[in-house]
Structure 1
Amino acid sequence: MTELKHGEHGETEPLTADEIRQLSPEEAMLAGSEADGVHIVHRRDRFPVRGTKAEKRAERGVAACFAISALAGFGFIVAFIALPYKWHLPGTPQNFRFYTPALGGLLAVMLLFIGIGMVLWAKWLMPEEEAVQDRHDEPSTEEDKLLTEATLLVGLEDTGLPRRSLILRTLGLAGGALATVPLVAIVGAMIKKPGTQLLHTMFEPNKTLFPPNGHVPLVFENFRRVGPDDIEPGGLVTVFPGVREKVNGYDGVTSASSPTLLIRLRPGQKVKARKGQAGFGYPSDNPEFLAFSKICTHAGCPASLYEQQTSRLLCPCHQSQFEVLSDAKPVFGPASRSLPKLPLGVEVGEDGRQYFVALSDYKEAIGPAFWERP
């Protein structure tokens, strides 16, 4: 180890700039550490003899981690573009449910293996070192700057990057994936304009499918129509628009905006309707049945836990509560907007039974805080 100069009485003296320039980077780094109050207690190169089989194995292990990270990032981009994501009812192909887990899993693998690669790089390839540092607040001199420069050069040499092209290339791939994945997720979601699709659901009247008035029937997930006798007093069911769309050869609902809660009030319960929505329940003059969007107006979770004793709907994600007898007005939690209400009606089917229909689409937008505009 190169030490600082010693004066006549044994005290250390700082090296001059010319003397520093005469030192090798390793010697200057050690001298700079001592000058800066960093005492290197132990320093050992993991592979004093360069190019051994053991070093090559370690290098390939680190590079493999970076390569896996890069492949996971590439897989994320492919999954984001190619995997099906559009929701539709049970009974039709449910492969859309793998979309979010696939993205999350690939992102986790990408971050995990770039982290593992960094740790193994430090443990397997970089020199082993122990140091003790003194604290001081003096400003840096020109000599300090030269010594710091030497320290950085030796640090770069310790990483082995100048001579480990395999690690350098795989690290570049992993770093490129790490930088590209967020851009793909952010920009990719904005390429296609939503148009007016956020303002409508599949309950919008359709005279072509349901002549003559176009009222869309309410159905269970198996497409069986829902009637007043299907719900007990105080009960709740999830219903969907009876609109079939072709999906990979199957018929089903393909809009995640459409799940609706159909509630039957208990005897004696009265509704305090919001302005303009007094006739939305069934019967319209003294409603016993109410229908609300199942999508919480806070973050889009399913608000489907119903306490018939308190007439409150609970969203399990963030504990927002909605008072059903006040037209699903939020009374607790982060939600600040009432659940949209679906206008209900009843029509007689071919079998002579009564079945629920939607008299119109929702009169307000479905969904979370996106719609909470000043």
Structure 2
Amino acid sequence: MSSVDQNQPTADEIRDMTPEEAMIVGAELDGIRIAHRRERFPIRGTKAEKRAERGVAASFLIAALAGVAFIVCFIIVPFHWHLPGTPQNFKYFTPLLGGTLAAMLIFFGAGLVLWAKWLMPEEEAVQDRHDEPSSEEDQLLTEAALAQGFEDTGLGRRPMLRNSLLLAGGALATVPLVALVGGMIKKPGNKLFHTFFDPKWAPEGQKYVPIVYEDFRRVSPDDFEPGGLATVFPGVRQEVDGKNGVTDASSPTLIIRLRPGQKIEARKGQAAWGWPAENPQFVAYSKICTHAGCPASLYEQQTTRLLCPCHQSQFEVLKDAKPVFGPASRSLPKLPIHVEVGEDGRQYFVATSDYHEAIGPAFWERP
């Protein structure tokens, strides 16, 4: 505000003004020219004003209900994948979350727009920029402008609008928290320590879980050339409840056939986990990198190292998949394997037990 303004009211004169009068005077003294200002409803309490208020409140209420629906869907709608031919109700989980979230944002935004267009005064103003410090009069005029702005919103005299806005705002604040924190409410228990290679998942009448390719063909030692490897999975496929070892995220495993003369420096207690047990030429390791969970499946036959392409961690196969380069600090978990003779007389791999340690990267409860 310029110090040469001769018509600037005193602090006492400003205190005697109504908030709207003080707001207009302050705007003019601050270089703001109000070109047009009109109340939407000069006479308060009319039926038209009530209809407009109910319309805005309805938008906020719908936004709040959509937020509640999002939380309900997040909690109760099934989301686990199931095999084709089994109940596919999981497919509604993502569309329902997306739809309710979109409805909440759309109606909250619509309520704000309608509030400004239907209820708040119509005003056009032009302001000149200035950099002078604020005087006491400036501060009082600013307070008046803020007070009049709040009065223009109608929150003080429109409880329906205020309450619906609080509901919608509460939903808008709660939904992100539910989405971010909801997955951590229930502890995973021991799920991270078990895969479908556990013998309890063995097909009826069999002692061990068969090892299969992604098309469920069984894996045989005869499939491998020296130095070769393949990605394999537990042969678990239950049509009733949709359990599937091939699609399970913890399942991908590498079987590697060593070249002649190569020998594994096994970790303690794991010397007989390959096949043949007395001098293993086949070994199996989790394909999931222990750093960040990427697929560590690039195998260099000459250096006998497994490379993870994400962050360049390297695991020395002849040292039982010990990390020798990069950010990974833990060896790839080793799967105990053996062979059994199938009905066709060929040998096929089986897992004699589950992994003895959690696969994948470290997590908060791992010692």
- Paired residues of 1:88 and 1:254 also in contact (CA < 8 A): no
Task: Provide the C-alpha distance between the structure 2 equivalents of 1:87 and 1:350, rounded to a whole number of angstroms.
Answer: 32
Q: Look up the match of 2:151.
A: 157
The one-letter code matched in structure 1 to 2:352 is: L
Q: Look up the match of 2:78.
A: 84
Q: Look up the match of 1:261.
A: 253
Question: Which secondary structure state, in structure 2, belongs to the residue aligned with residue 364 of structure 1?
Answer: coil
Change (3 A) 1:251 1:86: closer
Task: Provide the C-alpha distance between the structure 1 equivalents of 2:102 and 2:168, rounded to a whole number of angstroms.
Answer: 13
Q: Which runs of 5+ in 2 are unaligned?
A: none
Equivalenced residue count is 358
Match of 2:32 among 39, 42, 48: 39
Q: Look up the match of 1:134.
A: 130
Are positions 1:16 and 2:16 aligned together?
no
Question: Which secondary structure state, in structure 1, belongs to the residue aligned with residue 199 of structure 2?
Answer: coil
Task: Provide the C-alpha distance between the structure 2 equivalents of 1:98 and 1:111, rounded to a whole number of angstroms.
Answer: 20
How high is the TM-score relative to the length of structure 2?
0.73
Deviates more, 1:363-372 or 1:107-116: 107-116
Match of 2:347 among 350, 354, 370: 354
How high is the TM-score relative to the length of structure 1?
0.72
Task: Provide the C-alpha distance between the structure 2 equivalents of 1:231 and 1:334, rounded to a whole number of angstroms.
Answer: 31
Task: Provide the C-alpha distance between the structure 2 equivalents of 1:235 and 1:91, rounded to a whole number of angstroms.
Answer: 33
- Paired residues of 1:76 and 1:181 also in contact (CA < 8 A): yes
Task: Provide the C-alpha distance between the structure 2 equivalents of 1:306 and 1:114, rounded to a whole number of angstroms.
Answer: 50
Task: Provide the C-alpha distance between the structure 2 equivalents of 1:179 and 1:154, rounded to a whole number of angstroms.
Answer: 27
Change (3 A) 1:254 1:238: closer
Cα offset, 1:340, TM superposition? 2.3
Are positions 1:344 and 2:328 aligned together?
no
Cα offset, 1:181, TM superposition? 2.4
Cα offset, 1:370, TM superposition? 1.0
Cα offset, 1:229, TM superposition? 4.0
Cα offset, 1:323, TM superposition? 3.7
Question: Which secondary structure state, in structure 2, belongs to the residue aligned with residue 74 of structure 1?
Answer: helix
Change (3 A) 1:221 1:31: same
What percent identity do the matched residue pairs reach? 52
- Paired residues of 1:235 and 1:308 also in contact (CA < 8 A): no
Change (3 A) 1:87 1:113: same
Change (3 A) 1:10 1:339: closer
Cα offset, 1:230, TM superposition? 4.9
Alignment of 1:192-207 (within 5 A): 192-206=186-200
Alignment of 1:323-342 (within 5 A): 323=315, 325=317, 327-328=320-321, 335-342=328-335
Match of 1:363 among 353, 356, 366: 356
Task: Provide the C-alpha distance between the structure 2 equivalents of 1:96 and 1:123, rounded to a whole number of angstroms.
Answer: 42
Over the aligned positions, Cα root-mean-square deviation in angstroms equals 4.5
Alignment of 1:277-316 (within 5 A): 277-284=270-277, 287-300=280-293, 303=295, 306=298, 312-314=306-308
Change (3 A) 1:346 1:153: same
Question: Which secondary structure state, in structure 1, belongs to the residue aligned with residue 363 of structure 2?
Answer: helix
- Paired residues of 1:63 and 1:117 also in contact (CA < 8 A): yes
The one-letter code matched in structure 2 to 1:363 is: H
- Paired residues of 1:86 and 1:254 also in contact (CA < 8 A): no
Change (3 A) 1:66 1:359: same
Q: Which runs of 5+ in 1 are unaligned?
A: none
Cα offset, 1:281, TM superposition? 3.4
